Amino acid sequence: MVTKELSEPAKKDKKDVRANFYLGNLHLDQKEWKKAIKHYLKAARHGEKRS
């Protein structure tokens, strides 16, 4: 399942911006708002540090 494939990299490297962003998109599509926000915030925090 796609969720598992994206969750593994995000668990191994919590700073994986791409995995967290796509997990956010996946949860958004499934109307799982709180989970989507959690992953978008992780992606934003760690992406900001790379800039």
C-alpha 6, offset from chain centre: 8
Question: Pick from 39, 15, 14: which is nearest to 25 by CA?
Answer: 39
| pLDDT recorded at residue 2 | 66
| pLDDT recorded at residue 27 | 95
| pLDDT recorded at residue 38 | 96
Rounded-to-integer distance, Cα 44 and Cα 4, Å: 21
| pLDDT recorded at residue 7 | 84
Architecture of domain 2-50: Alpha Horseshoe (1.25)
| pLDDT recorded at residue 13 | 86
Per-residue burial over 3-37, b if 16 or more Cβ lie within 10 Å, else e, is eeebeeebeeeeebbebbbbbbebbeeeeeeebbe
**How is the chain split into domains, by residue range?**
2-50
Give the residues of the chain that fall short of pLDDT 50.
none
